[in-house]
Structures are given as C-alpha cells and as structure tokens.
Amino acid sequence: MRKFDSAAVWSMRAVFAAAIGGWGMAMAQSGPSPERAISLTIYKDDFAMVAEQRAVSLDSGRSRLVIDRISKQLDPKSVMFDWLGGGNHPTIVGTNYDLGVGSLQNMMSRLNGQQVEMLWPSSDGKPGEAIKGKLEASQDGGTYSLRTETKLYINPGGTLVAPADSDASSQPTLSVELQNRTGSEDRLGFSYLTRGMSWSADYVARLTANSDIAELQCWATITNTTGIPYPTSRITLMAGSPNRLAAYGFVAQTVSGRVMAGDNGIEKLSSSDSSGFTANAIRMPVGEMYAYKIPAPATIGQDQMNRVSVLGVRHVPFKRDYAIRLPALGVSGFESDGMHTQSHIPASLSLRFVNAAASHLGVPLPGGAVRVYEKDRDGQEQFIGSAPMADTPRKEHVSLTLTDSFDLYGGTMVLDSRKVARHLFRKTVQTVIHNEKDRPVTVRVVQGFDSGWTPVSESAKSQKLDSNTIQWTLRIGPGEDKQIKYVVEVKG
C-alpha cells in the first residue's frame, strides 16, 4: 500500500462516532462538521487528485468507517488508503463507494423491506402520531405501503423516518471495512482522483505608452464542479498532460503526480520574487511536468471560480513587433484571392520577450491566456488585446499577436506580369507602406510565394525566412510612406 508523505498530506482532527448496524459490525460515521485538512493537485483538463487525512476513533473487532464530504465525480478505482504514524493499525478488509440516491424512487427502493416509522401530520403544528412498520415499495419506487403487525397502510401520507444507519444516503459516501485488534485512536490518510476540477493560467500585462517595459503577473483560475467545497486546502497546480486511461466514462491517471517537499529542482521564494500583495508559487519538476505549489492555503468553493497568485509582478522588457503580411504571390497574381491589387493590409502588432533571467523571468511559465492593457494619454488603462501562450520553459522566446494596427498599413500591386519561358513568369511588384502614427516605427513586410521562385532585383535588401518566404525590415517616420519594388520569376 502506498505511503502518504507527511509533507503532502496535512494533519486533520475528526472523530467518527460508532453505532451498531444491521450487519453485526460497528458503524463509524463522521461528525457534523469535522476539521478537514486537504491537499489538491489540480490538472488543466477537468482532472484533480484529492488527498486528506482524518483522525478516527475505532472500537475493536469488525467495523465500517463511513467517509463523507467526497467528490460526486470521484473515480472509485483510484482510491488509496494508508494509516499514518507508528504503531499497530487496523487492517483494511474492503471498500465500498455509494453514489447516493438521486431521486425519491431510488430512496424508497433503498429502504424497501426495512423497519421505518411513519409520522402522521397534525393540525396544531406539533409532531403527530408515529407508527412503526415494514416498508414495502414497488419495483420502481412509485408506490409503497407500511405493514404493521395488524394493518397494511397503502400510500400513507405521512413522513417516513428511516434509521440513521440505513444505506439510503442522498450524498456519495465512501466506506471502509476494518478489522481492529483493539480499540484505537488513529489517523487515516486517503486520496482519490476526480473529475469536475480544473485550472487555467491567466496573465495580465500592463504597458505604458512609449515604454518597452511591461508589468507581467499570472493568476490561476480554479473551477470546481465536483459537488462539494474544499475548505482551507493546500493547492498544487500541474502544467502538463499525463497519459490517462478512459474507462467507464472516467479518465484515470496512469502516472504519479504527487508533489513532495524536498524534491530536487524546487524553486524557493526570494525577496526578488515577492511583489506587494501577490505571491509566487513554488515551482518544481514532477516527472515530465511542472508543479506550482501555492504557498498559502485557499478555500475552493463549490460551483465557483477561485483565483490564486502564481507569479507576482515582474517588470519584463519587450519589443513591439509590427508585421504586414502580403498575400501569397503565384502565377496568376496574389493567389489567396485571385486579385492583382491589395490596397489596404493592416500591420499586426505582436509583443515579444524572452523568458530569461535578464528579463526578470527565467522561470517555467504555464501556458494560458495573456491579456494586455495600455494606459492612454489620460492615464486610464485600456484593454488592447489578448493572445494564448503555450507552456514556456526557460530561455524560450514568446510572441503574442494582439491586434491589427489602425494607422500602420500597406498596399501592394502587380505592375507587370509576362511569360518569359515555358512555365516561367516574370512579375514586377510594388508595395507601399503608410505610417500615420505620430512616432517612427519599424515594420516587417513579409512576402510568401505559392510556387518556385527566383529573385531578379529589388529596391531594398530582403531577408529569406524559408524556402517560400522573404521579408523586408523598414524604419518609417511619422506620417511617412515607403515603397518597395521588386522583380521575381515564378514557376507555373
């Protein structure tokens, strides 16, 4: 049986009350509001691992321990148990997972054949007469009767009262059958995989006009639809996609995702990592994935989206990259639309930076959405675009395409096209770039080709990006136009 690491599972004190059930063994049931210590390892794709530790009080002999407040989307095949601490522990004989009844009909079916009480309604608001008898329900639970020693009540209109140790729970429960040599106070650790929980990384980048420094920070948004809340939980967020087996509608984990303090590669917080009210997650490798351990416990509510800080504010140098991508050129002209002229092609704006220590980063960045804001001339922050970012290791270059430019654009046209040989055409192309901004900009003009091509002449020096793409890099002043003219031979 797998051992729980004390650093991964935190202590909890909850005493389960014992009662005598109809199976001839002790029943242990959790108290009304026991203290819970929970650790959550959350993956991005509707998948999480829940680990808990609870203190239990058990009698000697055979007993059944009932564990409530568990996920409604738990994978019962993934449950693991372990006793924590030294000494002799009870033997776990077996486990049972009860999905809970989902309707009144199912409730009646569960109680069928059991001794129950019927409380008759009264007109004065006080409890009415109580009658004990055996419940007899139809197969679908739609009709029922109460059989006493002398009478049979058919579809009585009172309130049924079932024993507290009946198995007619409306909530999912996990029970453990135990064999204990002596009565004992013990600590039980258990974990399970569940659906209904996921997280996403959400970056915020704040820019200032005419500045090349961005304030970058990252929050994790955790969504919980498991059916229960997780109060004051230790949270570890996993970046990466472990292989999972699909079986009976559930995706089960096939690689270990447990995070233990003291692993090699753990990145501790430092004063340079802290920024105001935000905090950084402790980053550590786990297998081929990366884990982000949130320093402070947080409560993950049911049907809520909770946010926790992953990366505090970093002042990251970046470059604004403007690019005008001309339509691909082929034998008949611009092949993308069959036209020989494109009069207005806006430049796209991208932000580029390097995930390196020199950029005040140099840490593994989980993939997510980056939303960018920039202050206008009045100092008010405005949203200017967003872009996805993949999982980014150290030293990786990041490019975020945000928007098309309003006042930086180009136009291009084929001035001349003639056949110079069999399957060979010579084309003369002119492109004009317009900068209507009040500041100079550097723009890349990218030209692609749909077929084999050979350059003949050009008014500005180009750079070959790949076998079918070239680009020109131009510096254009405010209110200025610049022209590129080139001749190329294309095969067709």
Q: What are the backbone dihedrals phi and psi of residue 440, each rounded to the nearest 5 degrees, phi first?
A: -70, 150
Residues forming beta bridges with residue 324, ordered by sequence position: 445
pLDDT at 386: 94
Is the overall model pTM greater than 0.85, yes or no?
Answer: no
Pairing of strands 441-448, 453-458: unpaired
pLDDT at 14: 27
Cβ-contact 237, 294 below 8 angstroms: yes
pLDDT at 340: 64
Cβ-contact 77, 191 below 8 angstroms: no
- Please report the DSSP string for 356-379 in residue order: SGGGT--S-B--EEEEEEEE-TTS
pLDDT at 2: 35
pLDDT at 199: 94
Q: What are the backbone dihedrals phi and psi of residue 273, each rounded to the nearest 5 degrees, phi first?
A: -85, -20
Length in residues, the chain: 492
pLDDT at 10: 28
pLDDT at 195: 93
pLDDT at 55: 83
115-126 per-residue burial string, b: 16 or more CB within 10 A, e: under 16? ebbbeeeeeeee
pLDDT at 271: 31
Residues of the chain with pLDDT under 50: 1-34, 246-278, 335-338
Element (H, E) at 153: strand 152-154
